[in-house]
Copies of this chain bind each other. A is one copy, B any other.
Amino acid sequence: MDESTIRLINLIDVLSEKYIDVPEISEECMNTWSTEQITYYYESGGTNKPSSLNGMASQGHDQPGGSVEQTEDPAAHRNTPASARANQFAATVAGYRAQTIADGLPSRPHGLFPPRDPLLRELAEDPTAHPFEKHLAGEHSPYELLRNGSWTSGDEAAQAGFDMRLFYKDKQRDDRYGTILGAARLGDRASIGNGYWMSAHGGAVESLLDEATAELGKMEFSPMLSTIEAGFKIKKSVPLHTTLRIECEIREIKGMRCWVDGYVKDLSGVLLASCLAQLVDLQQLWAAQGQSP
């Protein structure tokens, strides 16, 4: 008998002596339940049995969480067509700014903003702030408005509880760079636990800031960017169904890297969460690696 089995038997001895009324545990259970499960079984007076062997046997699943035939080919998702690749090399910040601003912010039929949102009104009335949506280099242009959204943009994200509306603000008199201002609302699906009186999940807040900081980098530094580091501080609970203020500014640009600060505030200006993102210019990186379209 190995050591862990001996420990298990000792545990059951102790527990069955302490909880003498609890029915004895079967040998089969002993071999499949964890020490936690065994302890909990006794502590609960024998009522709490693991509902499934590793979460599947009793439910007839082939694997924990079950399975669904997957039809997507992951390789196809990496196989960028030559024309899109050429557009990734051709994109410029000036072009990115111009096209995203020209295209504006399309309507979101499943959006999370009610009519007459005060922050959206403030931003829309600022003639130096321009609403836009993320673009990417595609087969037809270096700057394409996404047809099917992304994790953080478009009506698709709004349907999944994430509605962020960004504005590029022209650089002001003494500024070196423009900034990003934005309004965001998170819905039930962005919750720590939908229906449990919880605030927004940290991952949703991080997604707001990851996206907003990257978009400022694309406006000012390089339209082909990748976030390589991001440090977040979550100062306060970020509420759901509540308009949040987003602000981003360039901290530094140096060589092929760029650092962007991002902030989530409430409407009275109280800081809820912040981020410092470090992004790398993929065009410079590709050039350094000798890559070409």
Q: Residues of A with Cβ closer than 8 Å to B?
A: 31-32, 34-37, 39-40, 43, 48-52, 54-56, 59, 61-70, 72-74, 77-81, 84, 94-95, 97-99, 101-117, 120-121, 123-124, 127-132, 134, 136-138, 144, 146-152, 156, 160-161, 163, 165, 167, 170, 187-204, 206-208, 210-211, 214, 226-235, 237, 239-242
**Bound-complex Cα distance A202 to B114 (A):** 28
- Give the complex CA separation of A131 and B226 in angstroms: 33
Contact of A72 among B35, B149, B187, B214 (CB under 8 A): B187
CA distance A55 to B106 in the complex (A): 7
Residue of B nearest to A96 (CB): B36
Pairwise interchain contact A131-B55, C-beta atoms closer than 8 A: yes
A57 to chain B minimum Cβ distance, whole angstroms, is: 9
Q: Write the nearest CB–CB distance from A160 to chain B, whole angstroms.
A: 4
Is the CB–CB distance between A194 and B148 below 8 Å? yes
A29 to chain B, nearest CB (A): 12
Expressed in whole angstroms, the Cα–Cα distance for A129 and B170 within the complex equals: 53
Of B109, B115, B189, the residue contacting A63 (CB under 8 A) is B115
- Check if A234 sits within 8 Å of B240, measured CB to CB: no
30 example contacts (A-B, Cβ-Cβ < 8 A) are as follows A34-B101, A36-B130, A40-B94, A51-B103, A59-B104, A59-B106, A63-B113, A63-B115, A64-B123, A66-B108, A66-B113, A68-B109, A68-B112, A68-B113, A70-B113, A74-B239, A78-B197, A79-B197, A136-B198, A148-B194, A150-B191, A151-B189, A151-B201, A201-B210, A202-B227, A204-B207, A206-B206, A206-B232, A226-B234, A229-B231
- Known contacts A196-B84, A201-B151, A203-B152; is A130 also within 8 Å of B34 by CB? yes
**Are B40 and A98 in touch, CB under 8 angstroms?**
yes
Residues of B within 8 A of A131 (CB): 54-56, 64-65
Closest to A209 in B: B203
Q: Which residue of B lies closest to A74 (CB)?
A: B241
Bound CA–CA A31/B128 (angstroms): 11
B207 touches A203 (CB 8 A): yes
Residues of B within 8 A of A210 (CB): 201-203, 206
- Residues of chain B within 8 A of A104, CB atoms compared: 50-52, 54-56, 59, 64
